[in-house]
Copies of this chain bind each other. A is one copy, B any other.
Amino acid sequence: MPKIWTDTIALHRRDMRAAILDATAALIAEQGLGATTMLAIAERAGIGRATLYKYFRELDAVLVALHERDVASHLAELEAARERQGTRWQRLERVLETYARLAHAEHGSELVARMRHTEAVARGFIQLNSLLQALLVDAIEEGLVREDIPPPELAAFCIGALSDAHTLPSQAALRRRVQLTLAALRTSG
């Protein structure tokens, strides 16, 4: 097949995959995980069941793919927060605020609860830890962050300190929690 054809096919497959995941996300949001079946997904995406099964062999594969897409999108958002203008301290603050907000927004998500112990989540945390570590190392070099604790431990502390962000009652409480977390990192004296 000419290259232009294979490209078109690859593009079509990617779009179809995305449409299936969009349909699944909409179904979960509107009717809950319990009502999300392969049949309901196919109907929602406007495709036949046989076509759906060509893309995903079972419901769990759709859910894992959807969740992996969410994790990737969260990491992209965190990286964008890191890249925006500002001092190193402001960038650290922005990344922690973004992470707290994402964790807060996930509150009560059935999909997140079901996927808690998956590999995608474990990989996501490793990437988040690396992202934070890189920021922290820079901030330590500038004398903004304490140097008496290894950066991997500082990064793990930040993630732990925000791990229950979904239980906080308001955006104000969320901001206070981020400020508390940052206060621990600050060079003392």
Interface residue ranges, A against B (CB under 8 Å): 146, 148-149, 153-154, 156-157, 159-164, 167-168, 173, 176-177, 179-181, 183-186, 188
Contacts and interface: CB of A to CB of B under 8 A. Distances in A.
Contact of A163 (B149, B153, B164): B164
Given A149-B180, A176-B149, A160 B164 contact: yes
Best-buried of A154, A173, A181, A184 by chain B (most CB within 10 Å): A184
A117 to B, nearest CB: 10
Nearest to A183: B184
A177 B153 contact: yes
Secondary structure of the A side of the interface?
helix
B177 A157 contact: yes
Contacts of A173: 153
Given A157-B180, A159-B164, A181-B184, 16 more contacts: A148-B176, A149-B176, A149-B179, A149-B180, A153-B177, A157-B161, A157-B177, A160-B160, A160-B161, A160-B163, A160-B164, A163-B164, A180-B184, A180-B185, A183-B186, A183-B188
13 contacts: A149-B176, A149-B179, A153-B176, A153-B180, A156-B167, A156-B168, A160-B163, A161-B161, A161-B181, A161-B184, A180-B185, A183-B186, A184-B184
A160 B162 contact: yes
Nearest to A159: B164
